[in-house]
Structure 1
Amino acid sequence: MNQKLKNSILFRVALAMAAIVSLSFAGMFSSVFIAQTSEGFAAAINQAGTLRMQSYRIASSLVHHLATDTPYSEAATRRLVEEFEQRLLSERIHHVVSEDGNPVVFLAYRVVEDQWSNIMRPALNNYMRSTDIDPLLLDLQPVDDARQFYLSNVDGFVDNIHLLVKALEIEAENKIQQLRILQIFILILTLIVIAIIMRFMQMSVLSPLKKLMSAASAVRKGDFSVRAAVKRDDELGRLGTAFNTMSENLSEMYAELEHRVKQKTADLERTNRSLELLYMTAKRLSESPISQDVMTEVIQDIEEQIGILSGTVCLGKPGDPVAYRMASTGQNTTWNVNEGDALNCERCFGKGEAHTFKVRLGTPREHSVYSIPIVDQDRQYGVLLVELNSNDKLDDWKKRLLETVASHIALALNMTEKASQSRMLALSEERSVIARELHDSLAQSLSYLKIQVSRLEKSILSEADMRQSLDISDGIRDALNDAYRQLRELLTTFRLRINEAGLAAALEETVREFDDRSDVDIELVSRIGNCQFGANAEIHLIHIIREALANILQHAQASKARVLLQCDAEGKATLLIEDNGIGLLEKQAQQHHYGLTIMQERAGGLGGKLEVSHPDAAGTTLKLTFEI
């Protein structure tokens, strides 16, 4: 038999059920068989019991025939004998009495049958033959002898019949006892089979199922290390093996998921640290000018987020003999690179690429230094050096992060350099403007004064009319006053700054200043909204407005003035300055043409167009239009 089939629970349960069914059928079939075999015993016992009564009836008929001597009694005796023989030889008795049956019953029957056939029936036959003779010729002696013989043997014959009945009863009881024993035996076998099945179910089914349920409960709670201790070569054993395999796979899968979650968490933490470092770097480099303190804070941020020993920022480029150490958090200011005795810039800068080299920081133990070039737009400003332990290695993400930080530093240095260049260019332009304004204002006034002084000297030397000398002196005084005024205006203009409040506040402050200095009612209309003017544009606008208002207060003799600045949605700005004065006379235009010239130059710096007009033959309108 196949070992796998032999160990199968279903097969063994099927065998147990088959055994129970077989025992049940055996009990039923044996009961039916014994019942069928015992079916004729009751009739045979009854029939045998009637033989006893029939024997006594024959004896009674013989006695009655002796007393009455009637034909009726003779016929009754004959009929009783025939009935006895029919009953003795009836099928009811022969059905249960056979040579193959119980020998005691068969022997008892044979004794009765032989005694009847050989003793009792011959005596009765003799008696009945004698009674058939004519009574006149009848010899009574044989009849009496036959009668006496039967009567003397009837008790023994009845005893033998009684033994037969007793044997039949015992045989019937034996059949019933056999049925009872068989039923008890089958019941005991059934109980044994049931006990075996219960034990088998307990050991082979319930116990493994309990272990499987316990393991399943542990797995449901998240404990994938538990294993079902079901080591059997049957269905539950294979189920336990499959469960253990599933639990192991789940454990590996959950371990893999936990590993991936931890990895993703580490990646997120690393990304957060990277973003935080980049944000802090950008914030520090943008909020404050680049300095040693700012760079030191940036390096400290790198130490905190990446976990390096120290860092250094050196400014220079490959090939420079000495680099400028801008900031460093290391305790040693001199690094001995390999066998070198001093700071070897060539080793630090390398070939303009990120690389690692070894240093000894005042001790025999070597440290690793990772050098990252500070490069922006193919221009190297220096290197970022990070110190590591000798056995430490930077991960790729740390290298990329350091390269990004280095690019931020390079961008900040580039922006600082460009801002410095822009400031120098603006300073140069402003100096040119100051030079032009000095040339167009004070220089002309001084030239005029020089000419007037020469005239005064000639007048004094030639002893001309005193009146002429006084006129020349008055002209000199007026020129000096005008020069002082121009100087004050220039100083005020040069000191002008646009504060954080913006252009609108600067316009209000300028108009308020001129309004307080004169009786002219100056109105300011500002419609700039959210237009964004550049710093140079704001300075140029304030200078033009101040120059125009100064001319109005000095020469226009106006009582009202209006300053309007507006811009549209397309970014086109318009500056309109109006007054109700006497207008710009030809003489004034010639004497003060330098003011218009300065405003024209500033308008050109804005890329705009400046127009001066007299709309009502009274007053002056100055209009400036430009693109923001």
Structure 2
Amino acid sequence: MKSRSPLVNRIAIVVCAVVLTSLVSMATTLAVSKSIEGNATAINLAGALRMGAFRLLAHAAGPRDNNTPGGNTSSLADDYEASLTDSLITRAIPGSADHALANQYRAITAYWEQTLRPGLENHPQGAPVSANMLAATENYVNSVNQLVSMLERRTEARIGLLHLIQIISLAFSILIIIALFVDLRNRVLKPLRKLVSIAIAVGEQDFSRKANLQGSDELAQLGSAFDQMSSELALTYNELEERARSKTEELEESHAALQLLHASSRNLFANHDLCDGAVPMLQELEQLLGIGPIRLYLHDKESAEPVQAVTTASTERPFYCRDHHCNACLVTPEVYDELPIEEHDGRRLLLPIRTPSGLLGTLEVWYPADKGLSKTARRLLETLSDQLATAIFLERQITEQQQLTLAEERTVIARELHDSLAQSLSYLKMQVARMRRLNIEGDQKISYDAILEELSTGLNSAYRQLRELLATFRLKLDTPDLATALRKTIEEFSERLGKSVGLKYNMPPQALSPNEEIHTLQIIREGLANAVKHADATEIFVEIVFDSPQVKAKIRDNGKGLPEGGQPVNHYGLIIMQDRARTLGGQLTVQNHAEGGVEVVLTFVPKSRHLIPTETSST
């Protein structure tokens, strides 16, 4: 069974004390009043006994009157004794045998029975009262007076006791009431005032007020609950303020990030430069969100692993970088060691760069493990990945369109050349053949044959050069990238050579524009064709590498080498290769190698829109 609370217990104690005081006061008052009940009558009757004794004495001394009923002394004595033993008197006498009042009453009764009554009854009627009789009567009356005095004192004592009990009860009741008011003030009123003031302070968002109530009663428990509630409200309020502040800062960051994404998206789609458009924006986003480094990987069908295309922090110049004057992503080792990467307790978020047509790449975002990544930051990065996906997809679409346009233009040029110049040259060759069949005699035959020979040689060279041009214009990239087209070319010439042609390819994806890819592939094909047809080579090795900021293509064979003039007779392939190199803004060197054979080296700086444009290029 659950016990009552301390405050209820105190109130119950006070009520019980008041009730008990009242009951004790009423009980004692009732007992005392009961004990003195009939004392006044007893005192009156006892006082009448004195007069009755003298009346008996006077009757005994008076003349005898037999006509008066009950006039004899014996009958009067009986009446007197009945008054002496009346219950109204005996009830006022204590029942205790050793009580003084009881002893006095017994002494009076005995004196009456043994001395006074016999004397009165034996006294002759009408005879004068003797001195002894008078003395006995006076002695008896004195004893009755003493009994009356004792009754009066006893009654007064009881009345005094009753007054004392009333005073004590009143004083005790007053003390209880005072203690109750003091307790109520200290244990109820003051705590209530504190609790009310705390409630008002909490309503005014002041959570510093505390009740600090001592004890175990309800108000102390309520005060403790108020203190705990105030502390929890203060903590909750501070948390809410902190969350509101954090949300505000997050919204401000989100707003700034959205503005940055908006400006950067325009920059991405305007200048068609992934690295130049993405790196500054990503670095600003890192500072804004407290993340980084951020890396962008593109998926290449020819590579098993994604190829890094953009990074915001690197200690070494990235492989794909072609501008040695740009240090946007380069940081010192000390700064790099502070970045939250895997070795420095960082966490990585991978976001797919995806379009409905497929996966284009992956955005790798590093962030501190202790701070985490907010939902707002994650949404912003997802928006960024969508923008990058759109930009990359559009760039690839533009590249493919440019390749298609370039191929169509070259096809048109090849058709025009074939339909006009090629037919004209064929016609001239037929005319030369007809002239050879003419029978010309005499001295003119020698000069005539010489002229025909020169015409035939010129026409054959022009026709051969035209066929090379037609082959060049009809060449198109029907593969997704230069690497695949180059491998197919190597397979083609390996079959023609009868032995595998060596290949070393190390180029970033989409490093060259469609026009640069076409010219580079054609120069390599022309070099391979020369090595197979004219050099009598048995081993050929092709190498194309990206040595930032240059692209270097090399074709080397172990053939017979170039003639002393450097250019084979009636062969215009090298001239066309030189023209292509100049179109690329590069340089072509063709020379005999010290170990034998010919080495063709092409070097140029790409002008692809995917890479940072350079103001000065070195060869």
Q: Which has the higher contact order (CA 8 A, sep 6+)?
A: 2
More helix by share: 1
* TM-score, length-scaled by structure 1: 0.48
